[in-house]
Structure 1
Amino acid sequence: MPAYLSSASVSRNFAWNPRLAHLRGLAAVLVLAFHTFHYFFGQWKPQSQDFGFGLVVEGHTGVSLFFVLSGFLFMSIAMQGNGHIDYGRFIRNRVLRIAPLFLVVFMVAISVGRDAFRPQDLLYVLFSNLGAAPTSSTFMTGAAWTISVEFTFYLVFPFLARFAMEQGPGYLLRLIGLLLLFKLGGFLATGHSTHMVYSTLLGRADQFLIGMLAALLAGRWLRKPLHGIWPVLAFVLIWGLVEIQARWASFFLPVQPYQWAWAIWPTVEALGWATVIVAYAHWQGQVPTRLGRWLEQGGEISFSIYLWHALVITLLGHAIGTPDWFADWRVNAAVTGLLVFGLTFWVARLSYQTIEAPFLGMRKRYVP
C-alpha cells in the first residue's frame, strides 16, 4: 500500500486496490453534494429542469454505489478463498470497521433527542433504517440509516459467497429474481412504497447481490485489462440513467399511489454502477500520480466523510444561511459545495485518525 496512506487501511484479506478506493470516495462525494445542494438550494424537491446535474440533484445514488461496491469487494475477497470465509473473524472485522464511528454518531443522536428518549430506542442501533430511529430525528445524523442495511447484509454474506462459488452465477441470478418478486409484493403492500424500497434491505439487497455477480463474472471472464473507452462508456451510462431518474422518477416526486419506476429502479441503478466498477477496476490505463494520491486518500476516509458531512453542512448552514454571494445560484452552489467538501475532508481525516484507525489495526485475516 502507498506510504502516504495509513497502515490501518491495509486489509489482511485483499491487496490494496486504488481503483476501488477512488469509487468509495466518489460515492461519499455524491452523497455530500446531494445533501449540500438540497440543504442550501434545492429544498428537497424534484429538479427536473436542471438537465445535466442529475448526479447532484439525485446524488443519493452514491448510496447505491456504496452497496454495489461492497458486494463486489467482498465477493472478490471470497473468490481468493474459493468461497471459504471464517464467519467469526469476518463479522469481527466488520464490527471493527463500522461500529466505532457509528456508535459515536448514535450517541450524538440519542443525546440530541434526549427529551423524547425511550429505553427501547437503544435497539435502533441495530435498526437505524426502520421506524422512528433516533438517528433519523435530525439531519446531521440522518445518513446513518444505511449502516444497519449494510451490516444486515454482512450477516448473511459468507453463506451467499460460498453458495455462489459452488453453484456459479446462476445462484445469484435466481436469488435476485426471487428478491424482485418479494420487492414487488412489498411495493404493493405499503403506502410508502418508494421510501420502503429506498431505505430497507428488501429494496437494496439486490444491489449487494449485483455487486457480487459483477465480481464473479469479471473474475471468470475478463482475461486482460480493458481499453479506456469502456470506463468512459460506463460513466456515461450511469450519468444517463440518473438523468432519466431526475427527469421522470425523482425520489422527491409525490407518490399517488405508487411511483412505479421505483419498483425496479434500485436494480437498474445497481446494474449501471456494476458496469462502472468492472470497467474502472479493470481499466488498463493509469491515473496521474498526484490525482491518484488525492483520490486514494478520499477513499480511505470515505466512511468518515459519509457520516460527518451532514454535521458540517448543519453548522455551516447556521453560520452563513443560504449563500447569495453571486448573481447565478449555480455559482453559489458550486462555491458552497467546495467549502463543505473542504471542511468535511479536514474533519473526516481527523476523525479517521482518532476514531477509526486504532480499531482498524485490530482486524484479522478471514480467508484461507
Structure 2
Amino acid sequence: MRSPNIRYFPAVDHLRAYAALLIVFYHGLHLFSYDARFHREFGIDAWLQPANPLLAALAEGHTAVALFMVLSGFILTYGALDRAVDAWGFIRNRLLRTYPLFLLLVFGGIAAFPDRFTLAGFAQTVFGLGNLSGALVAPPFTSMLWTIAIEWQYYLLFPLLLAVLKTGWLRQLAGMLAVLLLFRAAAVFFGADARDLGYLTILGRLDQFLVGMCAAWLFRTRPLSRRRGAALAAGALVVAVAGLAAFNAAGGWPASPAWKAAWPTFEALFWAAFVIGYVEAANAATGAWSWLLARIGEVSYSIYLVHFVVIWALLRAGLGFAPSGRPVVDALLETALVALPITLAVASLTYRFVELPFLRLRGHYHRDPAGTSTQGMG
C-alpha cells in the first residue's frame, strides 16, 4: 500500500498479507472445528492443543495482531527517521486510513443488534477506547475493533515516542520495555488478569509498537545482505513457531498464568527480527507470487476487519462441510476453499469503495528543515 509519506516496500505488503491470512486461518480453525465438534456457538472451553507444532502455532494465530503492531511501528518510523512529524497532519492521515471502514462496521453492528446500543458504549468505541470494558459489543461486526482502538492510542503517542527514541534508540527502548514490564508485573500483583492485560491493553501491546519502531532504525542503520536477511527471517520464524507451540502446550490463549505479562515483549522481539530479515531478503522479489502477496497486503485492513463477519455468516447459515470427518482438517479446508475466497472478494469491494476514496485524501505530514509542514499529495 503506497503512502505519500513513506517509501513503498513491497515486502511490507507481503508481511501484511501473511498477518491477514494467519488471522483468517486462526479464526477459521477454531470456529469451524468447534462447531463441528460441539454444534454450538464458539467458546474457549475446549481450546485446540495439537501435537503438530505448526498446527499448535496456528492455534495461537492471534499472534498476527502482534505482527501487525510491530509492522505499524516499523513502517511509520522508517518514514520519519530523518524528518520531523507534524502531529495533526499525522493523526489526520491515520484517521483517513482507518476510520471509514471502522465506522461502517460499528453501524453494521448497531443495525444488526440495536438492543446492544448504548450512547456511552458507542462514544467509547468511536473515540478510541473500544478495547476497554464498556465499549459497544455487537459481534461479529465489532469483534476485531478492539485492536484498532490500540492502534489509535499508538498514533496519539507516536510523535512523542519518536522524539524520545531519537535521543538514544537502544537505551531508551530498553528503559521503556523495563518500565512496561514492571508496571504489568505490578498490575498482575494487584489482581489484573495477565492474559487480558497483555492482550487487550496498550500497557500490554506498547512493547510491540516500540520494538517495531526500533526495528526501523536498525534496518536503516545496520543493513543486512539479502542472504543474511533471509537467514534472520528463517531463524526468527523457527523461534516464533517453537514459542507459539510452547505457548499452546502451556494452555494456549485461555490460560492466565502470571508469565503472560512478559509474553508481548517476546512476541515483539521475534516478529521484529522476522520483519527486518524478510524486508531485507524479499523487498526486491519479483514474479507472480510477489505481486499476489502485495495485492493481498494492500487489502489486508479490510481482510482483517471483515473476515470474522464472513466466518460467522457461514456458521449461522449452516454452510459448513466435513469431507474428511476430521474437525481440524475440515476446518482448514473450509477456511481455504470457502471463507478465504469470500473474504477476499468482500475485502476487495470494501477496499475499493470504502477505504480507497479516503486514502486518496491523505497528505504529507512531515516538516521541512525550516519547521513548516509540507502539504499535498506526492
TM-aligned CA distance change 1:266 to 1:168, over 3 Å = closer
Match of 1:114 in 2: 114
5+ residue gaps, structure 1, are 1-8
Tell whether the 8 Å contact from 2:231 to 2:277 is kept in structure 1 after alignment. no
Partner of 1:352: 351
Task: State, as a whole percentage, how many aligned pairs show the same letter.
Answer: 31
Report if the CA contact (8 A) 2:184-2:197 is conserved: no
Specify the alignment match of 1:6 in structure 2. Answer: none
Rate the CA distance shift 1:231–1:116 in 2: closer, same or farther, 3 A.
Answer: closer
From the superposition, tell whether residues 343 and 184 of structure 1 become closer, same or farther in structure 2 (CA, over 3 Å): same
Distance of 1:285 and 1:117 partners within structure 2: 45
SS of 1:101 mapped into structure 2: helix
Which residue in the other structure is 1:327 paired with?
Answer: 325
Which stretch of the first structure deviates more once superposed, 299-308 or 235-244? 235-244
1:324 Cα offset (Å): 1.9
In the other structure, the counterpart of 1:95 is 95
Write out per-residue CA displacement over residues 95-123 of structure 1, whole angstroms, 9 at most, x where no aligned residue: 00000000111112223332232221222
TM norm structure 2: 0.88
In 2, the alpha carbon distance for the partners of 1:105 and 1:190 equals 33
- Deviation string, structure 1 residues 69-107 (Cα, Å, up to 9, x no partner): 1111111111132xx111111001000000000011111
Q: Contact conserved, 1:46 with 1:246, CA < 8 A, in 2?
A: no
Q: Is the Cα contact below 8 Å between 2:177 and 2:207 reproduced in 1?
A: yes
Q: Which moved more, 1:282-291 or 1:153-162?
A: 282-291
Structure 2 counterpart of 1:332, one-letter code: D
Structure 2 equivalent of residue 340 of structure 1 = 339
Cα pair 1:41 1:322 within 8 Å, conserved: no
Provide the secondary structure at the position in 1 that maps to 2:269: helix
- After superposition, residues 208-287 of structure 1 pair within 5 angstroms as 208-222=209-223, 224-227=225-228, 228-253=230-255, 255=256, 259-283=257-281, 287=285
Cα gap change, 1:68 to 1:249, in 2 (>3 Å): farther
Residue of structure 1 equivalent to 2:123: 123
Going from structure 1 to structure 2, the CA distance change for 1:286 and 1:364 (only over 3 Å counts) comes to closer
State the AA in 1 paired with 2:303.
I
Matches within 5 A, 1:181-220: 181-220=182-221
Equivalent in the alignment of 1:66: 68
Q: Which moved more, 1:178-187 or 1:323-332?
A: 323-332
Shift in alpha-carbon separation, 1:67–1:157, aligned structure 2, 3 A: same
> Residue type of the partner of 2:105?
V
Is contact 1:31–1:60 with CA below 8 Å preserved after alignment? yes
Q: Please give the TM-score of this superposition, normalised by the length of structure 1.
A: 0.91
Task: Tell me which amino acid in the other structure corresponds to 2:148.
Answer: I
RMSD between aligned alpha carbons?
1.8
1:162 corresponds in structure 2 to 163
Output aligned runs, 1:36-47, within 5 Å: 36-42=28-34, 43=42, 44=44, 45-47=46-48
What is the match of residue 376 of structure 2? none
CA-to-partner distance for each residue in 1:206-263, whole Å, 9 max, x for gaps?
111111111112222225444333322221121111111111141123x4xxx12211
Deviates more, 1:115-124 or 1:206-215: 115-124
Deviations 1:169-214 (A, max 9, x none): 2112211111111111122223533112210101101111111111
Q: CA–CA distance in 1 between the matches of 2:169 and 2:270?
A: 22
Counterpart code for 1:210: V
Task: Name which of 299, 302, 305 aligns with 2:300.
Answer: 302
Mapped to 2, the partners of 1:49 and 1:305 lie a distance apart of 26
Q: Is the 8 A contact 1:226 1:284 kept in 2?
A: no
Offset, 1:49: 3.3
Going from structure 1 to structure 2, the CA distance change for 1:150 and 1:284 (only over 3 Å counts) comes to closer
Q: Tell me, in whole angstroms, the C-alpha distance in 2 between the residues paired with 1:106 and 1:33.
A: 24
CA distance in 2: counterparts of 1:332 and 1:47, whole angstroms: 14
**8 Å CA contact 1:30, 1:55 repeated in 2:** no
For 1:145, the equivalent position in structure 2 comes to 146
- Using the alignment, how far apart are the partners of 1:224 and 1:56 within structure 2? 30
Q: How many residues matched? A: 353
Cα pair distance change 1:284/1:93, threshold 3 Å: closer
Report what 1:4 is aligned to: none
Q: Give the distance between the partners of 1:288 and 1:261, measured in 2 at CA.
A: 42
Amino acid at match of 2:106: F
| Residue aligning to 2:374 | none
Match of 2:61, SS?
A: coil
Q: 2:2 aligns with which of 1, 7, 10?
A: 10
Letter in 1 for 2:312: T
The one of 38, 56, 69 equivalent to 1:54 is: 56
